[in-house]
Amino acid sequence: MISLSTTPIRSIVIPRYKKDAIVAAVKKGERIDGRRYSDFRRIEVSLNPVSRANGSAQVKIGSTMVITGVKAEIGSPYPDTPNEGVLQVHAEFVPLASPIFEAGPPDENAIEVARVVDRGLRESRFVKLDELVIIPGKKVWSIYVDIYLLDHGGNIIDASMLSSTLALYACRLPRIMVSGEEIVIDRDVYDKQIPLGDPVVSVTVGFIEDYLLVDPSIEEEAVLDGKLTFIFDKKGNLAGIQKTGVKGIKTKTLEQALELSQKKSQELFELIEKVISSSENYSKPLA
Amino acid sequence: MGKYGVKLLRDDGLRLDGRRLDELRKIRIEVGVLKNANGSALVEYGNTKVIAAVYGPRDVYPKHVALPDRALVRCRYHMAPFSTKERKSPAPTRREIELSKVIREALESVIFTELFPRTAIDIFVEVIQSDGGTRTASLTAASVALADAGIPMKDIVVGVAVGKIDGVLALDLNDIEDQYGEADMPVGYAVGLGEIVLLQLNGLLTSKEFIDAVKLAIRGCEQIYKLAKEALAKNYMSVSEPSG
Amino acid sequence: MKIKPIVVERQIVRPGDLLGYVEGEQSVSFMLYPDKNVYVKENRVYSSVLGVVVIEDDGISVIPLEGFYIPKKDDLVIGTIVGIGLTSWIVDIRSPYKAVLNGSDVIEDFNPIQHDLRNYLDIGDQILARIVSCDRTRDPVLTIKSRELGKIIDGVIVEVKPSRVPRIIGRNKSMLNILLEYSGCNIIVAQNGLVWVRCSDKERYDAVINAIKMINDKPHMKGLTEAVKTYLQNRLGGR
């Protein structure tokens, strides 16, 4: 029964000594990979590794690797929003990404990532749905954002959010000509960018009791009490939040996590700025 | 002015249903409403009605999926096809799958699962009528049902959603407010422990609004917590009275 | 551990309700006491279940109002055979765990090739048994070796809530003795919430079953023991 959420039973077994080492380090403000509690891992970006997609981006945070592909097609609007384009976000955790992933339809974790990213992109109006109308009430652009997790090294949401944002920036729509009810697509010319607003970024902070860890790795995730994902816009406003994990958090710790993640979000905005302003430097082949 | 120009606040500052900004809807909690389940509860937040049932701890099949050191917690949040304005297909949607996870994690943070290794605790919540706040009402109902089933927990957890309508924060959004408002933030809280066990935000809030919204949600949860505890005690008051 | 209670006997409490404070210098940051249905956090005692307070000399415990039977070693239980394997029976003892009764416990020189378990105990049969072993890693194992244990073939089995069992037995068996004395019936109370009753006539059966029902429904009533005694006396006229 797919909609019966179950305590995860297949998880990576982290040896006890490693768990103890991680917790001991955290209490001293350190981490086993040498980072400070507030550091992100190394982030690598590659734009348009997949040329068949209208836009794509590969993001590696530490060893977590996500490729997001964006496809744009002409379709009908949803009946209750006849003057808006369509945005759909899906995520797949394919089996090759981790020994614990099984083949099959997306499980609750993949669905959660997709929905959190969707909410961030949608609520912030980063994707300007009202500017994606071709023939009002009849034909609109449908933007499909497909997140593919290729290597699970922890903190899937931040890598997914970043790669989705960059893929949308890299996306180019084919030129179209509208005459009356007819739409002609020129599949040889892709020069129109998706109408985009200000970007959002997500910053995930893990917590163990009152201690915080930015960008938890997969080993750290195995010992965390829980995680908080904050989605920010450039002005520091919140465009989404998701708490995950099976332990509660005190309000004071929550507020500290908010402050910490808001500070970190600036680094990600700087990275996005760098990538889109000098995209040639980031158009590397897949790897 | 809300989305699509829908006004959610009246000129007198009250909401469309006459409530103040910090006022909960009428809340009803009934314990032990189902005979077959080990524990059950019916919870209403205004027109939102949900029923929760708990079975367990019980055997897990197949045996190899059982956890050796604690109980498996399995949770299903599901909306009846007739619960929404337009008929909803009975097949599980991505939303129901995400909410099942979010509710399960919130409950797992208080259940003493280590007391029942190799068993499963099954929690089923059905939304009978949906008018906003279904996941938070479901969390409250599930928690009360777990207590009714005699399952040991650190605390009762309850939930309420805070949102932003026409630019101001409001407590316990109904469906219209959720649809046309600027933000919707469901919160699950263990009042005794002082811990937030469920937290999501859909929409836009400034950091300050967020902090205020959390405080408002906690105040709402404290009221609902009191009602939940009263409902649990009410069922059994007769047990300590002398018989006629 | 000395506890200063802030609740009273028979008070109804719920998970997370504060029951009292730990006195003395020892500092307990977190400790769960499953047998008492309480937990201690930072020297404060909380209830972990919906139940009724019992104040003892050495602390507070909570008797769950609802609940299920958790098997313990040496407990007397009544079970129903629900499965038959090659070398053992699976027994339902109304607990989250199914119990196991080995063929070798019942049949001398048990040999699965020679002996068909079905010829000894079949699905649906009920047994009075004792728990031989039970730990966190395995399902409980039963025995029916003693003379007083074995297949139940007569009488009536009454279901009660497992949390009522101590009340049905009573302090120093006081309640059970009342039931036995004033009914003249044979009554065996199993720890898993089942009571095996054997009487000589229907009148007695009805009386005992009602008396047990009284205890099950209102276990925390003041003067319950007297009420049961009075009821049986009136109903059976001290026969």
C11-24 pLDDT tens trace: 999 999 999 999 87
Cα dihedral A235, A237, A242, A243 sign: positive
- Chain A residues whose CB is inside 8 A of the B198 CB are 243
Nearest CA in chain A to B60: A6
* pLDDT < 50: residue spans in chain A: 1
Which residues make up the CATH 2.40.50.100 domain(s) of chain C? 3-64
- Count, residues in chain B: 244
When CB atoms are compared, the residue of C34, C37, C136 closest to B117 is C136
Place of tokens 């009805």: C206
Chains A and C are in contact, defined as 3 or more C-beta pairs closer than 8 angstroms: no
When CB atoms are compared, the residue of B69, B116, B240 closest to C10 is B240
N-term to C-term CA, chain A: 37
> Fold for domain C3-64?
OB fold (Dihydrolipoamide Acetyltransferase, E2P) (2.40.50)
Place of tokens 């498996």: B72
Tokens of C177: 């003795």
DSSP-derived 3-state class of residue C142: strand
Is the pLDDT confidence value at C58 over 50? yes
- Give CA B196 to chain center in angstroms: 13
pLDDT in tens, B199-234: 999 999 999 999 999 999 999 999 999 999 999 998
What confidence category does residue C59 fall into, taking pLDDT thresholds of 50, 70 and 90?
confident
pLDDT in tens, C156-191: 999 998 888 988 998 888 899 999 988 889 999 999
Give the strands of the sheet with C12-13, arranged side by side. C12-13, C51-56, C59-64
- Domains delineated in chain B: 17-234 (3.30.230.70)
Chains B and A are in contact, defined as 3 or more C-beta pairs closer than 8 angstroms: yes
The closest alpha carbon to C5, from C26, C27, C22, belongs to: C22
Is the pLDDT confidence value at B241 over 50? no
- Cα–Cα distance list, A144 to A114, A151, A163, B96 (Å): 11, 22, 14, 21
Interchain CB contacts (distance < 8 Å): B and C? 104
C150-151 and C126-135: which strand pairing?
Answer: antiparallel
Q: Cα separation of A248 and A226, whole Å? A: 8
- Domains delineated in chain A: 27-277 (3.30.230.70)
Interface test with B, best of A5, A109, A204, A261 (most B CBs within 10 A): A5
Which residues lie across from C46 on neighbouring strands? C18, C39
- Chain B residues whose CB is inside 8 A of the A244 CB are 105
Q: Cα separation of A40 and C80, whole Å? A: 59
> Fold for domain C76-151?
OB fold (Dihydrolipoamide Acetyltransferase, E2P) (2.40.50)
Q: Cα separation of A272 and A168, whole Å? A: 12
- Chain A residues whose CB is inside 8 A of the B77 CB are 3, 5
Identify the pLDDT of residue A91: 96
Q: Cα separation of B122 and A6, whole Å? A: 9
Nearest chain B CA: its distance from C11 CA (Å): 8
- Chain B residues whose CB is inside 8 A of the A247 CB are 109, 195
Q: Is C152 exposed, middle or buried (0-12, 13-18, 19+ CB in 10 A)?
A: buried
C136 or C20, which is more confident: C20
Is the pLDDT confidence value at B13 over 70? yes
Q: Cα separation of B160 and B172, whole Å? A: 6
For residues B40-59, give the mean pLDDT: 96
B190 touches chain C (CB under 8 A): yes
A13 touches chain B (CB under 8 A): no
Q: Which residues contact C82 (CB under 8 A, 6 or more apart)?
A: C90, C91, C92, C98, C123
The torsion angles phi and psi of B233, rounded to 5 degrees, stand at -75, -35
Identify the pLDDT of residue A12: 63
Which residues make up the CATH 2.40.50.140 domain(s) of chain C? 76-151
Identify the pLDDT of residue B239: 45
Nearest chain C CA: its distance from B191 CA (Å): 9
Q: Cα separation of A76 and A136, whole Å? A: 10
pLDDT in tens, A248-269: 999 999 999 999 999 999 999 9
Tokens of A99: 């020994």
A122 touches chain B (CB under 8 A): no
Is the pLDDT confidence value at B181 over 90? yes
CB distance A141 to A173 below 8 Å: yes
- Give CA A85 to chain center in angstroms: 21
Q: Which residues contact A31 (CB under 8 A, 6 or more apart)?
A: A22, A25, A37, A39, A213, A220
Rg of chain B taking only CA atoms, in angstroms: 18
- Chain A residues whose CB is inside 8 A of the B218 CB are 251
Which among A208-222, B131-145, C132-146, C182-196 has the top mean pLDDT?
Answer: B131-145
Identify the pLDDT of residue C18: 96
B122 touches chain C (CB under 8 A): no
Is the pLDDT confidence value at C238 over 70? no
For residues C199-211, give the mean pLDDT: 91
Identify the pLDDT of residue A53: 86
Per CATH, the homologous superfamily of domain C156-236 is K Homology domain, type 1 (3.30.1370.10)
Nearest CA in chain B to C217: B239
Place of tokens 């750290």: A220
Nearest CA in chain B to A234: B206
When CB atoms are compared, the residue of A2, A6, A238 closest to B204 is A238
Is the pLDDT confidence value at B243 over 50? no
- pTM surpassing 0.95? no
- Give CA A254 to chain center in angstroms: 21
Is the pLDDT confidence value at B3 over 70? no
